[in-house]
Structure 1
């Protein structure tokens, strides 16, 4: 009986090691990329309040941390992340587009195009930021602003885990 218990304890310890190894392999696999529209074309906005943009055309979502229904990325793993977003201004004159990358309720960076004589400007921005489990990151359309998108996928939002912490 003692030999059997020792044998089972060894097997349990080996199984626990394998589980930890598998967790470490999958923990660093977080990446997503999405575009604003999955079909159609036109302006999105304006809204009277700041509104998270919902990037509906999902190119990838490894780790399922990005939710296309809300437009919000939620960290499932604590670590250092890279995020990038692009904005194409509205096609109405005058241009009136402002979007911001948000971490929870904190504005990190923005891209804007307003009050110009041209109407076809585009901008991009990116950050590396630390996130804890449960932190949210999203692109916010600022109040009374618009963005334009169509099947060319001008407006994108992407991110990935650089390393765990």
Structure 2
């Protein structure tokens, strides 16, 4: 029987999150759905079983502020999305990315906010999701 592993979590601290001097793991505090594999206090997804997983992350960032997030597996950057959102911009910035990863039980996946970047942490516009596609 295939394990049911899935989650969606949103950043909900309120307002603009960032900038920080270094890359930081984003804590998506509000778990919309979860099977306990995602920990909202650390921002880490820990694979409960080996298999192929799909992960996605999307964000909104305020106008005139640089934005950037990356998906990280076991401390290794897998995919990124970013924008300079240069001075004078009159709109917010939106971005995201998706990756399919093979994980072993115990591997971790998280989303990091890149140094000097911002995201919006309100109104459920910045999210992180994942689910098991096929168990080994």
From the two aligned structures, give the one with the greater strand fraction: 2
From the two aligned structures, give the one with the greater helix fraction: 1
Determine the C-alpha separation between the residues in 2 that align with 1:157 and 1:132.
20
Counterpart in 2 of 1:14?
none
Larger Rg: 1
Q: Is there any run of 5+ residues in structure 2 with no aligned partner, and where?
A: none
CA RMSD of superposed structures (Å):
1.3
1:104 deviates by 1.0
* Alignment counterpart, residue 98 of structure 1, candidates 30, 55, 68: 68
Counterpart in 1 of 2:92?
120
Determine the C-alpha separation between the residues in 1 that align with 2:97 and 2:90.
21
* Alignment counterpart, residue 57 of structure 1, candidates 3, 6, 30: 30
User: Residues 89 and 119 of structure 1 are in contact (CA less than 8 Å); yes or no, is this contact kept in structure 2?
Assistant: no
Higher relative contact order (CA 8 A, sep 6+): 2
1:87 deviates by 1.3
TM-score (norm 1): 0.77
Q: How many aligned residue pairs are there?
A: 134
TM-score (norm 2): 0.92
User: Residues 149 and 155 of structure 1 are in contact (CA less than 8 Å); yes or no, is this contact kept in structure 2?
Assistant: yes
* Alignment counterpart, residue 48 of structure 2, candidates 71, 76, 83: 76
Runs of 4+ in 1 over 6 A off after TM superposition: none
Determine the C-alpha separation between the residues in 2 that align with 1:72 and 1:154.
19
